[in-house]
Amino acid sequence: MLYTGSCHCGQTRYEIEGELGHVIECNCSYCRRKGPLMWFVPRDALKLHTPEDALATYRFNRHVIAHHFCPNCGCAPFGMGTDPSGNAMVAVNVRCLDDIDFAALEVMQYDGLHRN
């Protein structure tokens, strides 16, 4: 299925191809404050309509995830990194996708706060 998404102001737009199953809610210091529900997909499932260099990026802790956000409205629609096998991945904030029934999502908890 094809999903569309954006930041709040619409400056950052993108599409995601995939089947939205469960989402992850993390309690790390970043996610606890921002509140994303994350859907992990391969990097090639993301098609940016905004050039990647037009996004602002925040990295923290081990600096392995590039948390991208709109420099205009501050909304954080996705982050990029690699999975444990080294595959390029995107953590999509499903709260930034269009027409999602949040009540129908299966939410899995992840304890990022206590991860070493």
Q: What confidence tens digit (pLDDT) does each residue in 42-100 have?
A: 999 999 999 989 999 988 877 778 999 999 999 999 999 998 899 999 999 999 999 99
Q: For 88-116, give the DSSP string.
A: EEEEEEGGGBSS--GGG-EEEEE--TT--
Could you give the number of structural domains in the chain? Answer: 1
Tell me the pTM. 0.90
Residue 20 within any structural domain of the chain: yes
Contact 97, 5 (CB under 8 A): yes
Residue range(s) defining the domain that contains residue 86: 2-110
Measure the CA–CA gap between 98 and 89, rounded to whole angstroms: 21
Question: What pLDDT shows up at residue 52?
Answer: 87
Asked if residue 64 belongs to a domain, the reply is yes
**In a domain? residue 116:** no
CATH number of the domain encompassing residue 73: 2.170.150.70
